[in-house]
Amino acid sequence: MNTEILLGIITFLTSTIAGVVGLGGGMILIAVLPSFLPINALVPIHGLTQLSSNLSRAVFGYKDVKVEVIPKFLIGSLAGVSFFAVILYFVSLTYIPLFIGIYILLSLWSQKFNDKIKKFESYYLIGFIQSGFSIVVGATGPLATTLLVKDYNDKDTVVATAAALMSITHLLKVFAFMLFGFVFFDYIGILVAMIIGAVAGSYAGTKLRDKIDGKKFMLALKIILSLMAIKLVIFVFM
């Protein structure tokens, strides 16, 4: 029971962070989960929890969602999940934390890595890569957010629309792991606590979005994420 409560609180905090700045919450959560869950449960549990977080955030900010980008992203996502699902058969689950750690560090600190991401201007391609890659890595929200920031200047629009797109990513990922035979019910206690925390955090983040200094918050967030990513990389080799 202590684990369920702790994960519920952690999910609330990460969902609140994502509700305020539009990203980062999923990365923190996927970096924390290896301390609580077996490796084979990391990505599916994270996916269902993040589906709750992003979908609730999109619902709370539904007026700001740019619906016109959703069909393009959905088509790309369907193709991406189908393609990347095959890769799971050739990748050892032991190294998933390594992929997660490297991905987080590159996303945060490598300008070349982000420059390459920015070249994917199409929502079809972003959907393909983000949803497909999320099956292996788990947290890929910055991909869509990067393009949305370029297309829209309004913070609420970026956060709400990114949440809607990530909902598609996580929904398809959850279905993929169900087809793989993952039994979500085995973790029902943890999932209930995390989903409650995710929805509550989305609500809190939506209310706090205009009251927090985004630049200072993002700097602190990057430092925390980096430390967690380094820990994941070291954990694999130890």
Domain ranges for the chain, please list them.
Answer: 2-237
Q: Is the pLDDT of residue 57 over 70?
A: yes
Q: Average pLDDT, stretch 41-58? A: 91
Could you tell me the two tokens for 94?
């032991």
- What whole-number distance in Å separates Cα of residue 128 and Cα of residue 8? 31
Q: Is the pLDDT of residue 63 over 80?
A: yes
Across the chain, mean pLDDT equals 83
Tens digit of pLDDT for each residue in 183-209?
Answer: 999 999 999 999 999 999 999 988 887
- What whole-number distance in Å separates Cα of residue 92 and Cα of residue 152? 39
Record the pTM: 0.76
- What whole-number distance in Å separates Cα of residue 162 and Cα of residue 141? 7
